[in-house]
Structure 1
Amino acid sequence: MTSIKVKFRPSTAVSKEGTIYYQIIHKRVIRQLKTNYSIYADEWDERSATLILANNGRNGHLQSIKERINWDVKRLENIVSHWENKQINYTVDDIISAFQESASEQTLFNFMNGIIARLKQMGKHRTSETYHATLRSFMQFRENKDVLLDEIDSDLMLMYEAWLHGKGITKNSSSFYMRILRAVYNRAVEKELTNNRNPFKHVYTGVDKTVKRAIPLKAIRKIKNLDLSLHPALDFARDMFLFSFYTRGMSFIDTAYLKKKDLQNSILSYRRRKTGQQLFVKWEKCMQEIADKHKTDYDSPYLLPILKYPYDNRSQYKNALYRTNKNLKEVAKLAGISIPLTLYVARHSWASIAKSKNIPISVISEGMGHDSEMTTQIYLASLDNSVVDKANTQILRDLM
């Protein structure tokens, strides 16, 4: 029986960080495996042998260390499990040697986990989540068996694509995974960790046209006119949908993080969390009605009551997004709308309705804050913001 435990050794100096190490016991022989993970004493829970996460500037750093520890322990357990299953005799020193050898080899799982940890440290949580989802999918395909970067070739990617399609994954979704893996692979090539074997040349990495997720103005009007006074959860979901539409398709994550100070002199200013682009929206009466209806606490910095606690904002946002989209399905039924209603539909609908009113593509792009990754950005010109505000006012007037 082999025991693997995570331990913390505090620094002899009170103000300095201590280090994490692993204690491995096999056949009564004890060894310590050092790591380069450093934390302060008050960031370690001795009883549960876990890190203590806090809502401060070190939270991203601690979260990345926690995930690396979990990955290290899993690798150690896999080494032991492999030898146990094959009934191979081994010593505790063999475990450490095998672990260190695997760490020195450039494997996809290790390399990608490092990228994910750095993305979290940089505050790019959404991107880190998509990378983590891709890695989790590929690990399932590989049955948790890591692969060297030098072993990644077109045959492997073709097998992964076939596996995805066999599980019912759509062409666009499999392409999404492939594009992320390609980005990771290209980064490894840039770092000269492997030679470029063009492993993605035979798999699909494009974007197929999907079923439209826009609804017409008359459907928006039906949603707006619903009496949901007896259903507060549905009422809130409906209002968040309308707020997104009113504000030129503002993404829900940007809505959640809006601060009261962002509204000044009838202009709402915010910076898109996805692209960093700053946008300015003329504050209309219909927007104020929603803000008045769903007021936040006096001491809350937020404009709308989506983030309610001063900690764990990312989890609050994700939970609110899930609940709101779920409730919008019920709102759609009440309004007699057949397509699955989500907050994204509001964004797509604003663009579609604006286009139907012959508003130039460049104005629509400017209004929605599209960046260079969007096709519409090709037509984007530097516009006076009043042009965008006039376009939005024109749309909202037709809704009344």
Structure 2
Amino acid sequence: MTQPITVIIPTRERADTLQHCLETAVRQDCDRLQILVSDNASSPATRAVVEGFADPRVRYVNTGQRLSMAHNFEFALSQVDQGWIVMLGDDDGLVAGRLEPTVAVLEDSGLQALSSETCFYNWPRVTSDREPALTVPLETRVDVVRSGDAVEDILKLVRPKARLPQTYTGGIVHADVIRAGRAKDGTFYQSQIPDIYSSFAITASVERYLYSKAPFAIAGRSSHSIGAALFKLEKNAFLEEGLIPFHPDFPTDEIGTLSFSMPAIQFECHTQAAFLHQGKTGVLKQRMLDVMMANTRTEHAEMLRWGRQFAAQHGLDYDLAIRRIPAVLRQGKLLGGWRAFRNLFECARLYPGDPWPLANVHEASETAAALLAHPPSRIGSTVTTLKRRYT
């Protein structure tokens, strides 16, 4: 039985990029496609963009009041109860013609979740000439991955062999997995960082998932992007309304946030998902401290104070964690360096000024599809990248 594919686009006051994101969705050649735009109480411009498509597959819902990002994601997920779920950021997109074939591969595997490599698109005015405007992975391998192995890599600070599936750009998950990951109160997201949390919730609910090196989605970076603004020592506007509290194992008294450290956020999200794997995180608190401090810029006194507070709360050896920083960093670099080097040869890159249409994510979607259909020379692309980077 053919199951529906729902593309969910949570949005908030980004009508300019949403227009082009939606364009990449409605132009997919997919008979079973449904598109849901979840508007987080934006101005009328957002609804006008959605209604401007006049497409019966597009459905608009509004939260009715301003919510945190996690609660907007939750509201959007609550609107879908069957089939495959794909979630996009409102400055992201789908590669032209790639959604239906990717879902078909997932269905043939008999698995319920997929993660993929993504194209990466820098919207105009957020990049320099040295940075690619569009990066397109060219590999096509598809692997079955044990969830436990992939999570272990993440928590050891090893660049993972496979991305974790998530309810965000580059992930596909069945609605049954979302149901399995809900808490007793019926909510799925238990952390204020919903995309990262969803990775641990999904992998706690499925023993194996599919990992595709071939991209079907484009991760965009625009002037609206949250990711670049997240890692600062203050709370961000998108998190202000109705926050899900950080897990009590992670103190926030002094600076009010964990956003100074990606490992801190990953450990917090994994700990919040502990109820899905019988209450066990599988990571010692001392190891958490070692990894978090190794990836904290030590010139920030606030970060060092936070590390001391975490150590004191759990009876850990803070000074030992500081001494272990060089060893932890060496491990991460040795294990991740080779994969980073290979990445140079596995992607095509286009730069500002190249003769390709790249004015918005929809144009990037069409360009990415063309590059995937007719891959350029990998050696030539690598040489161009090195020249741009180092000259």
Could you tell me the TM-score, scaled by structure 1's length? 0.22
Could you tell me the TM-score, scaled by structure 2's length? 0.22
Q: Which has the larger radius of gyration?
A: 1
* Higher percent of residues as helix: 1
Highest relative contact order (Cα 8 Å, sep 6+), 1 or 2? Answer: 2
* Higher percent of residues as strand: 2
